[in-house]
Amino acid sequence: MSRRLLSVLHARNLEFIRDRATMIFTLLLPVALVVGLSFVFGGPERPLFKVGVLTQNLKAESYPFLHERYTDFVQETDEAKAVRNVSRHQIDLLIDLKGGPRYWVNPSSPKGYIIEKLLLQSDPSAKRQPVTGDAVRYVDWLFPGILGMNMMFSCLFGVGYVVLRYRKSGFLKRLNATPLTAFEFLTAQVLSRLALIMIVTTILFAGVSMIIHFHSAGSLLLVFLVALLGALSMIAFGLIIAARVSSEELVGGILNMLTWPMMLLSGIWFSLEGSPQWVQWVSQLFPLTHVLIAERAVMIDGAGVAQIAPQLAYLAITTVLFIGLGAWSFRWRME
Amino acid sequence: MTENILEARNLVKRYPSVTAVDGLSFGVRDGICFGLLGPNGAGKTTTIEIMEGILAPTSGEVRYRGELLGRRFREEAGILFQKTALQDFLTVRQSLAMFRGLYERGLEVDEVIRLCALEKLETRDNKKLSGGQQQRLLLAVALVNDPCVLFLDEPTTGLDPQARRNFWELMQSIKARRKTIILTTHYMEEAELLCDEIAIVDRGKIIAQGTPRELLKQHFADTLLELPKQEFPAAARKLPLQMFEAGDRVEITTNDLDSTLRTLMDARVPLSNLRIRPPNLEDLFLELTGKDLRA
């Protein structure tokens, strides 16, 4: 038995090692994960809380609370904007050190609840201020992120494997013998996936909205438009991957490489405010980041088309760019 | 003389380790069935795929009605590859409708279904077809645009004899519609039955070309005698006859059967297992390449 087992094991290992592209991506994935996770969990004292401090010079302040460990203190100068950040879960608590210490906390924030207790223990005289405007529940802030993440997986994983299967079975080669162009073929794949994703996302949106009693502040039509453009851009992104590859393992490797950083760095789970500059730059590359910025602006702040125009433009441009790139590099047959 | 609908000029296809096609040139006249014959690995599929515009040659060119292969060719060509899977979960009719939608002109789906005898299968899932049925569907796909030129790459390889015969009947009815057909095969019977002209390919080169009748006439006398090799005495090998060995047989060709038989009998060659038949393309191939076609 062991000889047969070893024989199959050896053959499988050879197969894997000779598929160079797949091996490279399989080995690159952990590296990418380490980089991504080092940002999320790394550092000597990874802060658990993010506290805004209204002051002109944070370093010069000697308020004892500012020495709490595991807390990231961010300097804020604009009171109205900072309070809004509290209500939008961008920061867990805001403290004003001018005059008698005052603070703002979002009553629906779990982290805010704990950091408030820590503050009052350090300085029982601090005065709580009402959060002006509509305090947003954490679940409301997270909701667009979850919808976006679901869309991302469906977009990226939905097209890559299908096109690869067509290529492997020779179906693509047969299509190549017809007047069909790569652009037409890819556009059809995008539209088919898009219809499916929009139906699923709409059902998910309606269902979860009912369960968590969510009400979008802005136009639902605009929410739909952002999702539509976002899905288009991400499906087209998936097609670039599907354009050339010829092995399932390679597709899996590349998709993992792309989805993990997007999961961690697109602002699904937490705000990227106060993150290192490179993280913010990288995150701006991902279509998902723009989807989430626009969706949150519409759903939470009631933004109109004008306010989210840059995001809409980015998604539209990347869609065209990705489909163009996919069609240009498209391969009909296995090499 | 009818003009050539397709022309291959100095086709060369090199891969890092092998030259699959080595300077092929030939023309295909409009309305004929042209056969590319050769053993496995001779370069037939590479040649036909270059002709189909699927594979780019290393050098050389293919012209369709005098033009390089382009959009017009794709509209007017029908292709049946050696191996093609269609989409899963689609029925025969749905697959044909999909392909019909890719062309400007063509036959009605109903007509193609009738032509390829798929009436009873039209609602069946592609995956649930037998080998012969699948091949008929792929032929139907190749006919859906009512092509002027039809490429068939080993269309009956892997089919059982009955399915092969059915397929041949189907192809004869398509021939009757005056389509130009380019066929690769290693079944000589198929080539003799269907082809008006053949080119025999070996190691990427054409080694003989013409109508099957011409080629046989050029290379063989009228009659071919076959005898088992082990019953053939060594002394008889020196007889003044046109003979060559083919596997476990000795073959002798002649225009004068009477005197040949007398010579053999005089040499005391046992004739109880003698077979007499006209030479066929298989013999021709053996004569030209020294190889069995199916080796």
Q: Is residue B202 part of a domain?
A: yes
Strand order in the sheet with A49-54: A71-76, A49-54, A93-96, A102-105, A127-129
Q: Is B153 on the interface with A (CB under 8 A)?
A: no
Burial call A81-97: b when 16+ CB within 10 Å, e when fewer: ebbbbbbbbbbbbbbbb
Pick the residue with more confidence: A42 or A106?
A: A106
Give B74's contacts in chain A (Cβ within 8 Å).
177-179
- A216, B37, B47, B238 from B42: Cα distances, Å: 68, 9, 10, 34
In this predicted structure, what is the pLDDT of residue A41? 58
Given an 8 Å threshold on Cβ–Cβ distance, is B74 in contact with A169?
A: no
For chains A and B, CB pairs below 8 A equal: 42
In 3D, which of B143, B140, B213, B218 has the Cα closest to residue B179?
Answer: B143
pTM: 0.77
Using the Cβ of B5 and the Cβ atoms of chain A, whether some distance falls under 8 Å is answered with no
Q: What local confidence, expressed as pLDDT, does residue B259 receive?
A: 87
Q: Which residues of B touch A176 (CB under 8 A)?
A: 54
State the pLDDT confidence band at A132, using cuts at 50, 70 and 90: low
* B86 domain-assigned: yes
Instruction: Give the model's pLDDT for residue A334.
Output: 78
Residue B291 — pLDDT band, cuts 50, 70, 90? low
Q: Please, which pLDDT band fits residue A94 given cuts at 50, 70 and 90?
A: very high
Q: Please check the confidence at residue B126 and state whether its pLDDT lies above 60.
A: yes
User: A160 pLDDT exceeds 60?
Assistant: yes
* pLDDT score of B206 more than 70: yes
**Residue-level pLDDT at A15:** 76
Give the confidence band of A242 by pLDDT, cuts at 50, 70, 90. Answer: confident
The mean per-residue pLDDT over the stretch B140-165 comes to 90
Contact B103/A174, CB-based, under 8 Å?
A: no
Q: Which of A143-147, A224-228, B85-89 has the lowest mean pLDDT?
A: B85-89
Cβ <8 Å between B54 and A178: no
Do B25 and B11 reside in the same domain of the chain?
A: yes
pLDDT of residue B48: 92
Q: Please report whether residue B290 resides in a domain.
A: no
Closest C-alpha among A271, A277, A293 to residue A92:
A271
The span from the CA of B202 to the CA of B291, in Å, is 10
Q: What are phi and psi of A320, to 5 degrees?
A: -60, -45
Say whether both B263 and B145 belong to one domain: no
Together in a domain, B138 and B159: yes
- Say if residue A150's pLDDT is above 60: yes
Contact across the interface for B102 and A175, Cβ inside 8 Å: yes
Q: Are residues B117 and B230 in the same domain?
A: no
With a CB cutoff of 8 Å and minimum separation 6, the contacts of A255 are A156, A157, A160, A238, A241
Q: Is A328 on the interface with B (CB under 8 A)?
A: no
Distance in Å, alpha carbon of A263 to nearest chain B alpha carbon: 33
A282 falls in which pLDDT band (50, 70, 90)?
Answer: confident
State the nearest Cα–Cα gap between B139 and chain A, in angstroms: 12
Domain that holds residue B158: 4-216
> What does the pLDDT average to over A131-156?
82
Which residues of chain B are within 8 Å of residue A177 when distances are taken between CB atoms? 52-54, 74, 77, 79, 81
Cβ atoms of residues B269 and B227 within 8 Å:
yes
Could you tell me the CA-to-CA distances from A52 to A102, A273, B286 in Å, in that order? 12, 11, 90
Q: Does A333 touch chain B (CB under 8 A)?
A: yes
pLDDT at A58 over 60: yes
Closest Cα in chain A, distance from residue B126 (Å): 13
pLDDT score, position B295: 40
> Which position has the higher pLDDT, A42 or B142?
B142
Q: In whole angstroms, what is the distance from residue B23 CA to residue B45 CA?
A: 15
Nearest CA in chain A to B145: A178
Same domain, B88 and B153: yes
Predicted local confidence at residue A86, as pLDDT? 87
Of B52, B81, B141, the CB nearest to A170: B81
**Residue B110, domain member (yes or no):** yes
Count of CB atoms situated within 10 Å of the CB of A271: 15
Same domain, B62 and B153: yes
- Return the sign of the alpha-carbon dihedral for residues B42, B199, B45, B192: negative
Task: List the structure tokens of B177.
Answer: 């519609």
Tell me which chain A residues have a C-beta less than 8 angstroms from the C-beta of B62. none
Q: What are B15's two structure tokens?
A: 């891969």
Domain identity same for B149 and B252 = no
Contact B228, B273 (CB under 8 A): yes
pLDDT in tens, B45-103: 899 999 999 999 999 999 999 999 988 999 999 999 988 888 888 889 999 999 999 99
Domain membership flag for residue B49: yes
Chain A contact for B75 (CB, 8 A cutoff): yes
Across the interface, whether the CB atoms of A178 and B83 are under 8 A apart is answered no
CB contact under 8 A, A178 and B99: yes
Domain-embedded: residue B288: no
Q: What is the mean pLDDT of residues B171-192?
A: 88
> Nearest chain A Cα to B52, which residue?
A177
**Does residue A10 register a pLDDT over 90?**
no
Best mutation target among B46, B76, B80, B84 (most A Cβ atoms within 10 Å) is B84
Measured CA to CA, the distance from residue B176 to residue B37 in angstroms comes to 22
User: Is the separation of the CB atoms in B224 and B282 below 8 Å?
Assistant: no
Clarify whether residues B202 and B233 are in a common domain.
Answer: no
Complex prediction ipTM: 0.81
What ranges do the domains of chain A cover?
49-129, 138-328
**What integer is the mean pLDDT of B169-175?**
89
Q: Chain B residues with CB inside 8 Å of A178's CB?
A: 74, 99, 102-103, 145
Highest-confidence range of A119-128, A230-239, B1-10, B160-169, by mean pLDDT? Answer: A230-239
Mean pLDDT over A154-169 rounds to 87
Pairwise CB contact (< 8 Å): A179 & B79: no
Model confidence at B216: pLDDT above 50: yes
The pLDDT of residue B294: 42
Domain-ending residue, one of B175, B190, B216: B216
Strands (DSSP E) along chain B, which ranges?
4-14, 19-29, 33-37, 59-64, 67-68, 77-80, 149-153, 180-185, 197-202, 205-210, 223-228, 242-246, 249-254, 275-277
Q: What is the pLDDT of residue B293?
A: 44
- pLDDT exceeds cutoff 80 at A155: yes
CA–CA gap between residue B213 and residue B224 (Å, rounded): 15
The CATH number of residue B152's host domain is 3.40.50.300
The CA distance from A187 to the nearest CA of chain B, in Å, is: 14
Pairwise CA distance, residues A209 & A202, whole Å:
10
Residue type at A134?
A: D
pLDDT digits (tens, 9 = 90+) for A289-329: 999 999 999 998 889 999 999 999 999 999 999 999 998 99
Choice between A138 and A319, residue whose per-residue pLDDT is larger: A319
Q: What 3 state SS string does A266-333 have?
A: CCCCCCCCCCCHHHHHHHHHCHHHHHHHHHHHHHHHCCCCCCCHHHHHHHHHHHHHHHHHHHHCCCCC
In what order do the strands lie in the sheet containing B249-254? B242-246, B249-254, B223-228, B275-277
Q: Is B259 on the interface with A (CB under 8 A)?
A: no
Total structural domains in chain B? 2
Whether the pLDDT of residue A16 is over 50: the answer is yes
Residue B251 neighbours by CB distance under 10 Å:
22
Cβ distance B102 to A176 less than 8 Å, yes or no, reads: no
Helix and strand totals (H; E) in chain B? 10, 14
Question: A46: pLDDT confidence band, cut at 50, 70 and 90?
Answer: low
**Which CA distances in Å does B32 have to A137, B69, B174, B188?**
77, 20, 11, 17
Q: Which CATH number belongs to the domain containing residue B247 in this structure?
A: 3.30.70
Q: Are residue B201 and residue B240 in the same domain, yes or no?
A: no
- Are B173 and B146 in the same domain? yes
pLDDT for the residue A29? 67
Is B128's pLDDT higher than 60? Answer: yes
**Predicted pLDDT at B108:** 93
pLDDT tens readout for residues B2-31: 579 999 999 999 999 989 999 999 999 999
Distance, CA of A179 to CA of A185 (rounded, Å):
11
Q: What is the mean pLDDT of chain B?
A: 87
With an 8 Å Cβ cutoff, is A44 touching chain B?
Answer: no
Residues 6+ apart with CB under 8 A from A179: B71, B74, B75, B102, B103, B104
What is the average pLDDT across A175-187?
89
pLDDT of residue B1: 46
